[in-house]
Amino acid sequence: MKALFAHGAKDLRLGDCEITGPGPGQVRVGLARGGICGSDLHYYNHGGFGTVRLREPMILGHEVSGHILETGAGVDGLSVGDLVAISPSRPCAHCEYCLRGLPNHCMNMRFYGSAMPFPHIQGAFRQEIVAEASQCVPATGLSPEQAAMAEPLAVCLHAVGRAGPMLGKRVLITGCGPIGILTILAARRAGAAEITATDITDKALDYARAAGADRALNTLADPDALTPDMAGKGRFDVLIECSGAQPALVSGIAALRPRGVIVQLGLSGDMSLPMMQITAKEIELRGSFRFHEEFATGVKLMQAGLIDVSALVTHRFALVDFADAFRIASDRSASMKVQLDFAG
């Protein structure tokens, strides 16, 4: 069985990977689709991010779907042939944070394709994988490419939940990559009355408009695009920052009303913040990290036709063409979401 390993920056290789049969409570899945995420690109382009570095070959990938090939003892509700979305989130259920109801902060998290611990947690870009049945959400009615979007959608649903009640709110979303676009869809579904999106490329903003943003502003072409929103101490109730770029966060803070809420979702390293503004306007700053129960919710929303992710998948490559897939995925002007086709 083949899997896609990152050995270092710009060093991806298909290699052999052993697989065993499923144990009790497990299933063996033949992968169908796998989306290339921003963290996969960090490993590919830079060998890691921040202090997280590759220290051994690691299988990439955590946005995946596939069909069940075999079930282990005690598995109910899943059958051979079922299409499933596979959650990469595997909390231990026993640590302090799991017991507090915060499984996304599990002290012993085994999240697919993560170099945070050592040995690294191997990812899901492989032809077959044995997963816990509890990770697998039936995706009846969805295509494999839609089912593989459950993970990034769950990230955005968690972020919108961190913002608090959304009904009737004016929302600013900065950064219109896949996460930003999915956040627009999630915020609208949660009841946002007005959504403004910002980015530095017109192509990304076209996706924002198609996703339902009321305004889409190019802050590179017009650095003062948000200036009218800064009048009178600001007008936005919520800022969801998806780019990880300090200028986006700083300008968003200036456009937030007093007692507005910031949800920082984008990750790119530490930032300097205008603490005087945050203090004087009594702004709340909240982080958003991963997800857990939102994964199944995302699948259900897609199945019900309440969130449509299809337009975000712009490119599909066979596994053997992984080099082209990662090259295109690294070019924001050329793609939105790139997926590997494990059946192709």
Q: Are residues 129 and 261 in the same domain?
A: no
Same domain for 134 and 6: yes
Please name the residue ranges forming H helices in the chain: 38-46, 96-99, 144-147, 150-163, 178-189, 202-211, 246-255, 275-280, 294-303, 322-329
74 plus 159 within the same structural domain: no
| Burial (CB count within 10 angstroms: exposed 0-12, middle 13-18, buried 19+), residue 17 | middle
Residue 71 domain-assigned? Answer: yes
The residue written with tokens 């712009």 in the block is: 314
- For residue 325, being part of any structural domain is answered with yes
Residue 135 belongs to a domain: yes
- Encoded tokens for 156: 């955005």
- What pLDDT is attached to residue 56? 97
Confidence band, pLDDT 50/70/90 cuts, at residue 164: very high
* Averaged pLDDT for residues 315-337: 95
Number of separate domains in the chain: 2
Domain of residue 107, CATH code: 3.90.180.10
Q: What is the pLDDT of residue 268?
A: 75
Q: Which stretch of DSSP H or E encloses residue 17?
A: none
248, 181: one domain: yes
Asked whether residue 304 is domain-assigned, the answer is no
User: Which residues have CB under 8 Å from 146's CB, separation 6+?
Assistant: 139, 302, 309, 310
Specify if 293 maps to a domain: no
**Residue 178's pLDDT band (cuts 50, 70, 90):** very high
In this prediction, residues 32-56 reach a mean pLDDT of: 93
The whole-number pLDDT of residue 55 equals: 95
Co-location of 172 and 100 in the same domain = no
pLDDT surpassing 90 at residue 272: no
Assess if residue 240 is contained within a domain. Answer: yes
Total Cβ atoms within 10 A of residue 120? 19
CA distance 100 to 119: 27
Query: What is the pLDDT, as a whole number, of residue 219?
Result: 97
What is the pLDDT confidence band of residue 267, given thresholds at 50, 70 and 90? confident
Q: Are residues 38 and 104 in the same domain?
A: yes
**220 & 333 share domain:** no
Indicate if the pLDDT at residue 89 is higher than 90.
yes
- Mean predicted lDDT score pLDDT of the chain: 96
Segments forming the whole domain that contains residue 249: 154-287
How large is the average pLDDT for residues 73-87?
97
Residue 122 shares a structural domain with residue 68: yes
* Angle CA 304–309–313, to nearest 5: 145
DSSP letter at 324 equals H
Predicted local confidence at residue 173, as pLDDT:
98
- pLDDT for residue 36: 98
Residues 166 and 143 in one domain: no
Residue 155 pLDDT greater than 90, yes or no: yes
Residue 292 belongs to a domain: no
274 and 315 fall within a common domain? no
Looking at residue 105, its pLDDT comes to 96
Judge whether residue 50 has pLDDT over 90.
no
Owner of token pair 């896609």? 4
126 phi and psi angles, rounded to 5 deg: -145, 160
Query: pLDDT tens, 204-254?
Result: 999 999 999 999 999 999 999 999 999 999 999 999 999 999 999 999 999
CATH of the domain at 227: 3.40.50.720
Give Cα 254 distance to the centre of its chain: 27
Band the pLDDT of 275: cuts 50, 70, 90.
Answer: very high
Shared domain for 178 and 256, answered yes or no, is yes
Same domain, 163 and 277: yes
The pTM is what?
A: 0.95
Residue 303 lies in a domain: no
Q: Is the pLDDT of residue 269 over 90?
A: no
344 pLDDT more than 80: no
